[in-house]
Structure 1
Amino acid sequence: MNFLVLRVPVASESKVAGMDWDKLRIFHAVADAGSLTHAGDQLHLSQSAVSRQVRALEESLNATLFHRHARGLILTEQGELLFDATRAMMKRLDAATARIRDSEEEVFGELRVTTTTGFGSLWLAPRLPQLYNKYPDLKIDLMLEERVLDLPMREADVAIRMKEPSQADLIRKRLMSVHMCLYASPEYLAQRGTPETPSDLHHHRLVCQNPRSAQVGAGAMLINELMTHDIPSLLTVNNYFGVLQGVLHNLGIGVLPDYLTQDFPNLVRVLPDVHSVDVPVFLAYPEELRHSKRIAAFRDFVQNEIITYRKKLKEQAES
């Protein structure tokens, strides 16, 4: 079945490792869930059994780990310290489990992919059927957000980002370059006319991301430059998917990445000499997952899709 998803005083981890692992595992589940009942459901234990283990851990540490109240549990300062340690241990276990699973010949299991909302929803997600057709047992968790997740700390397995990752211990590969350009629907241009110079934008509505919102710097720079033309009507959205919807519904001229023109061929490029500087697109994953078959399968899939994408762009340009 396919899945696509569109979270004490401790001097060191070595001391934590010396404690009863079952109690630590139960404590971690309770701290993560914020509830004895929810943790028990995850661990297939009764609430009373979970409560006994937590109290036994508190007694062994001579510390209170949770503030208990009617709405649930809140970690104490000592509890926060222990939770930080157990969280680091769980991430290391996850990494070890991933390496063990990746020693198998088949590509299966969960693959956590992070990328921006625009690229993930407009370019990557529509192409995932090809990956699932080849590897039907993959379970992809697609995390779309502008925040850069920490790959070495296993917040995700692989990332596609609109700039070169700066985190250490990452394998990175440049995939392609993107430009932010101006697009409109044929219906909008038929109603309002086609601008011939940037100053003509004064007579149009601009649809774009707010320049103060999280986005690639090149896009924000282009929007700020366009704003100098005293554009009276504006629609701002916090991601490119929303900008695209505004353009498709004839609301105005949109600032959009050029990678979507292949899948939306009816969009009309406006003021072709106006565009952002190059925006590099990188794929990155932790060095420790170098031999992961799931990572390799995803990397090869993305690279093959980009080759196909470039060929189609060339064919469109020549036709």
Structure 2
Amino acid sequence: MDWDKLRIFHAVADAGSLTHAGDSLHLSQSAVSRQIRGLEESLNTTLFHRHARGLILTEQGELLFDATRAMNKRLEAAAARIRDSEEEAFGELRVTTTIGFGTLWLAPRLPKLYEKYPELKIDLMLEERVLDLPMREADVAIRMKEPSQSDLIRKRLMSLRMRLYASENYIKQAGEMKTIEDIGSHRLISLSPASPQVEASRALVGHLLTHDVPSLLTVNNYFGVLQAVLNDLGVGVLPDYLVEDFPSLVRVLPDFESSEVPVFLAYPEELRQSKRIMVFRDFVQDEIIAHRRRIRDAAAA
């Protein structure tokens, strides 16, 4: 069914006159009449009774007008929401990040975002594969590497380092590590060598494995590494952003850590004005600032 003809039909039915509908549509009366005849022919029915005082809808015309009235209301509502989206945050936001960061840092903080913007619908896509933002596989990404695509807006959020951690109970049972050579008396817990990971983590684990490591547990994501460490299984290689949320972790060998890993937030250029993107970006930045402040205050105490 021709959408343009439906639009003209709706205007005629609403105005009750070809002339008045033509004025509102900036079309001649003859052009409007031709479109109505074409629609009636395509439907094989009569939509209007014509008389001297104007046009009256037939039964079939009333059915079609009910449908176009509902369509028009939905279109007007959609247009209003599009305009309002520059002022309000609502609707779906597809966020992609790594399993570790999304599970251990981002997800626990999302209640604060929903409290401020209850109409947001966040689709949290946690995977190590880098989704293609320009192709709209996701709306916004948080990644442990600067995005390479040129048509993305990107902002550096923070830096992290991979460090060694163990539980208090494990340290009591197995003893402290005073030098890197002491790894020979402990079980090492790390990401699997074949798992996707930042190069800084891979290099740190590779260096540890050059020493004699008698017992090793590898997991394919940091959530699993963390759970093993919290359950007193050994010394784990974990990102330092976990320190605030898991105070029972004890840092092992304070001078031993990876090189710096940058954390970037990125989104497509065409979403620059999206209110959903803006509130999410600001929320993450505020949480990171507060996170840094709490760690700094704890270290100074």
TM-score normalised over the length of structure 2: 0.72
Tell me, yes or no, if the aligned pair for 1:209 and 1:239 is still in contact at 8 Å.
yes
Match of 1:247 in 2: 229
Tell me, yes or no, if the aligned pair for 1:102 and 1:292 is still in contact at 8 Å.
no
Deviation at 1:289, TM superposition (A): 0.3
**3-state SS of paired residue (1:283):** strand
CA displacement, residues 208-234 of structure 1 (integer Å, 9 cap, x when unaligned): 001221011100110000001110100
Match of 2:183 in 1: 201
Which amino acid is the alignment partner of residue 165 of structure 2? Answer: Y
**3-state SS of paired residue (1:245):** helix
Match of 1:167 in 2: 149
Tell me, yes or no, if the aligned pair for 1:246 and 1:252 is still in contact at 8 Å.
yes
- Specify the structure having the higher radius of gyration (Cα): 2
Which amino acid is the alignment partner of residue 203 of structure 1? Answer: S
Match of 2:278 in 1: 296
Flag structure 1 segments of 5+ consecutive residues without an equivalent: 1-19, 22-96
Answer yes or no: is 1:136 the counterpart of 2:118: yes
Distance of 2:189 and 2:85 partners within structure 1: 48
Give the number of equivalent residue pairs. Answer: 225
Distance of 1:102 and 1:224 partners within structure 2: 52
2:207 to 213, 219, 225: 225
**3-state SS of paired residue (1:110):** strand
Deviation at 1:157, TM superposition (A): 0.2
CA displacement, residues 177-198 of structure 1 (integer Å, 9 cap, x when unaligned): 0000000001001000011000
Which amino acid is the alignment partner of residue 256 of structure 1? Answer: L
Percent identity reads: 71
Which amino acid is the alignment partner of residue 216 of structure 2? Answer: L
Distance of 2:107 and 2:125 partners within structure 1: 11
Which amino acid is the alignment partner of residue 266 of structure 1? Answer: S
Distance of 2:142 and 2:84 partners within structure 1: 21
Answer yes or no: is 1:275 the counterpart of 2:282: no
**3-state SS of paired residue (2:236):** strand
Deviation at 1:203, TM superposition (A): 0.7
Deviation at 1:272, TM superposition (A): 0.8
Match of 1:57 in 2: none
CA displacement, residues 129-158 of structure 1 (integer Å, 9 cap, x when unaligned): 110000000000000000000000000000
Answer yes or no: is 1:286 the counterpart of 2:265: no
CA displacement, residues 29-51 of structure 1 (integer Å, 9 cap, x when unaligned): xxxxxxxxxxxxxxxxxxxxxxx
1:115 to 90, 97, 100: 97
Tell me, yes or no, if the aligned pair for 1:185 and 1:250 is still in contact at 8 Å.
yes
Match of 1:215 in 2: 197
Deviation at 1:106, TM superposition (A): 1.5
Which amino acid is the alignment partner of residue 197 of structure 1? Answer: T
Distance of 1:162 and 1:117 partners within structure 2: 12
Tell me, yes or no, if the aligned pair for 1:188 and 1:252 is still in contact at 8 Å.
yes
**3-state SS of paired residue (1:229):** coil
**3-state SS of paired residue (1:282):** strand
**3-state SS of paired residue (1:167):** coil
